[in-house]
Amino acid sequence: MNKFNLKIILLDGQEIEKEVEALICKTDLGELTILPYHQSIMAIVNPGEIILKIEGQKEKIYINHPAVLEFSNNQAKLLAVF
């Protein structure tokens, strides 16, 4: 199955890097699902649950602050900003 690289950078400097099949998060405009080779996009992600699909399994990550999501060139970066 196709995958993309996801890098999450939290306020405390902690970095999480994974190869994922999908990223599901919530924005003010609704739920956003990023799949491999998605069109380039930037969005503000709301605090709360982020779901990662890895090897067909769902993994949940919780963020306590809004974050900026950037997806381009089959790479996603999620940066906690506040």
Task: Give the pLDDT score at 65.
Answer: 85
Task: Give the pLDDT score at 14.
Answer: 82
Q: What is the tens place of the pLDDT at every residue in 16-50?
A: 899 999 999 999 999 999 999 999 999 999 999 99
Number of domains in the chain: 1
C-alpha closest to that of 10 among 53, 66, 73, 76 = 66
Share of the chain above pLDDT 70, in %: 98
CATH number at residue 76: 2.60.15.10
Which domain range does residue 57 map to? 4-80
**For the chain, what's the residue count?**
82
What is the rounded distance in angstroms from the CA atom of residue 78 to the CA atom of residue 69? 5
Average pLDDT, the chain: 93
